[in-house]
């Protein structure tokens, strides 16, 4: 009779199961939440943060097949756990359908804000390259730079002004790298301070959402300011979001900042798609070895603690900074760069987590 496997041994075997559409396994993605063996029964709890039923079905089927093929498992059960944020999103969708909740600008299928608990984590770089990677995948994409006090889009895309207007008076976005762009940085002089109170910020954000000729978009990515201030709360309360993304860095100290970002979305009934770990590691250009300069595992701990997905890990590369300073995001500037590949994988993951086929129900 085969010796019973321990939960740790089972977890190691589950690393053979890849997340659908990715080379990474479900363990590293934080899908395997708990494993227990009691009275001869193996129980595996999966935390699957996605609205895509096909992805969920593929994961469960693959886990079943793996467990059935292992000796020392015997009878087993698989439980799928839905995080609280998804239930809140369903409540938001019901309110919207009944006319009590926020809506969306006409023609925009999916709205995804990118947030961070604090500055300096590369949120704008992630938002910009995510937008470009989605566009490169064939999606119609817009990027709204809502970081009103510190707009980065003009620099990252090498655009200084947006002067064209439509016949109806709406602003026509600038288009670069296949992405339609709008930023407060287009309307103020470089380096000029912007001293506005909350109501003025809310009005500007409303104009960027509703008085811009966005046309038909599959995804509108919104680069939020860091923190949880007026702009963030105005946005999350005034427009129907399809899920927020939190950008963080590997350090454990970032956990408290991510917690504030997640709670901000939860407070308005918006779901959180997941967490992105930026500056996750550095790849040595000589030997190809990875060095975790800022530690490792911080984002994974955050994702596990709050029951959200770890969407991806982006390396710390000089090329990302240089391409952004030169006005061309790394996804376009060098498709073979490690960071560019990471952003394309991130875009694939986002398209799976927030598929367009369900947009009519969001």
pLDDT tens digit string along 197-254?
A: 455 566 777 778 888 889 999 999 999 888 766 667 667 667 888 888 999 888 766 6
Q: Name which of 120-124, 263-267, 332-336, 341-345 the model is least confident about.
A: 263-267
The residues spanned by each domain of the chain are: 7-81, 87-361
> How far apart are alpha carbons 265 and 77 in whole angstroms?
33
> How far apart are alpha carbons 334 and 315 in whole angstroms?
14
pLDDT(262) > 50 = yes
| Residue in this structure with the two tokens 């990302």, named with its chain if needed | 320
Mean of the pLDDT values across residues 187-194? 56
- CATH classification of 87-361, choosing from 3.40.50.2300, 3.40.50.720, 3.40.50.300, 3.30.830.10? 3.40.50.300
> How far apart are alpha carbons 151 and 183 in whole angstroms?
7
pLDDT(107) > 70 = yes
> How far apart are alpha carbons 242 and 325 in whole angstroms?
30
> How far apart are alpha carbons 309 and 274 in whole angstroms?
4
pLDDT at 199: 53
pLDDT(84) > 50 = no
Looking at the structure, give the CATH architecture of the domain made up of residues 7-81. Answer: 2-Layer Sandwich (3.30)
pLDDT at 188: 64
């Amino acid at each position: 009779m085969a010796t019973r496997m321990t939960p740790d041994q089972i977890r190691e075997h589950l690393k053979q199961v890849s997340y659908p559409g990715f080379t990474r396994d479900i363990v590293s993605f934080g899908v395997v939440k708990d494993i227990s063996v009691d009275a001869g029964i193996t129980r595996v709890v999966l935390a699957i943060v996605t609205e895509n039923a096909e992805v969920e079905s593929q994961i469960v089927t693959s886990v079943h097949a793996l467990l059935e093929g292992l000796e020392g498992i015997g009878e087993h059960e698989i439980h799928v756990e839905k995080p609280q944020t998804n239930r809140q999103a369903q409540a938001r969708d019901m309110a919207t359908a009944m006319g009590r909740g926020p809506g969306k600008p006409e023609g925009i299928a999916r709205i995804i804000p990118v947030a961070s608990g604090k500055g300096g984590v590369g949120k704008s770089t992630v938002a910009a390259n995510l937008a470009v990677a989605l566009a490169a995948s064939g999606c119609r994409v817009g990027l709204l730079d809502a970081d009103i006090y510190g707009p980065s889009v003009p620099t990252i895309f090498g655009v200084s002004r947006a002067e064209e207007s439509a016949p109806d008076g709406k602003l026509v976005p600038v288009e670069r790298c296949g992405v339609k762009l709008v930023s407060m940085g287009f309307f103020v002089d470089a380096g000029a301070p912007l001293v506005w109170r909350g109501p003025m910020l809310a009005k500007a954000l409303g104009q960027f959402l509703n008085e811009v000729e966005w046309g038909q978009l599959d995804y509108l990515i919104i680069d939020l300011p860091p923190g949880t201030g007026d702009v963030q709360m105005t946005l999350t309360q005034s427009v129907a979001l399809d899920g927020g993304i939190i950008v963080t860095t590997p350090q454990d100290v970032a956990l408290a900042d991510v917690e504030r970002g997640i709670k901000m979305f939860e407070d308005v009934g918006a779901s959180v798609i997941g967490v992105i770990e930026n500056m996750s590691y550095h790849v040595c250009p000589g030997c190809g070895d990875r060095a975790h300069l800022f530690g490792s595992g911080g984002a994974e701990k955050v994702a596990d603690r709050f029951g959200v997905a770890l969407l991806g890990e982006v390396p710390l590369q000089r090329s990302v900074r240089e391409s952004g300073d030169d006005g061309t995001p790394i996804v376009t500037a060098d498709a073979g760069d490690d960071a560019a590949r990471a952003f394309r994988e991130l875009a694939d993951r986002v398209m799976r987590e927030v598929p367009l086929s369900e947009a009519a129900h969001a």
